Amino acid sequence: MTEIAGRVAVITGGASGIGRGIAEELIAQGASVVISDVEREALQATAAEIGAVAVPADVSSLESVEALRDAALARFDRVDIVVNNAGVGPWGEIETLTMDDWRWVLDVNLYGVIHGVHVFLPVLHANSEGGHIVNTSSMAAFDPQPQLAAYSVTKFGIAALTEVLNAEERAKGGKVRATLLAPGMIRTNINSSTRNRPAGSSGALHDNAEMEQDGSPALQERWMTPREVGAVVARAIRNDDEYAITHPDWWWRAQARFKRIEEAFARYPVWGSEPS
């Protein structure tokens, strides 16, 4: 088990949404929390409201994440829990996407997590008790949807990174554990992600105005609050769970994809044998 009380946590994308919900829950359970974000005013306001330490950071920049690590260590002299949560969620069909579109989403969502693991893993290894990494993926890692190709590519990548990290740590008897957070419908502002798109880049990615959080006839989904997600994550940290699932009732979505894969395996004969 990973203790939360008395530990130091660093959370990216912590000014709002899921990041803030996780920060609030970890603080309530006795952790000291550093939150980072690219939106400086919102970051400072959130930190003051919830009792966290604010450190501005752009996760798409390795140097910025290194500065975040240095600030956290300077303040607390240790880091025990890292939540690589910052991300964007714009929409766009594959044939319309530009290279600027791909680079922006991959830089934030995928390289943001890669940077976090690369920078903080040695810090956690240096702890005698080890530590815990939470990487925010999505249900899109199990059930990719049209118009979310760039987003889904990053979430699949995060899933692979997290699973391999756990396998490597187990193989060498390491004390660092990782959790893949796969949220479904959460009440956040991710559907206005383009507000933080770098100046000068262009493309077809757009926010989805139809994703109303109160639900429309086409979107009768179960929405959760960020704080509810925080409770899911805290439980996963305490139990060293490899997966943190916010919507277990959505298993049918993942199961349908896995069924198609299983059927594909069954259609092909073992090499050298005769087809059935």
Angstrom distance (rounded) from CA 244 to CA 225: 15
- Name the one residue in this structure whose structure tokens are 């006795």: 30
Tokens linked to 263: 């059927």
Which residues are catalytic, by number? 151
List helix spans (H) across the chain.
Answer: 17-28, 40-50, 62-76, 99-105, 111-126, 149-171, 226-239, 251-267
Dihedral (CA of 12, 109, 147, 220) sign: negative
**Strand ranges for the chain from DSSP E:** 8-12, 32-36, 53-54, 81-84, 131-136, 176-182, 243-245
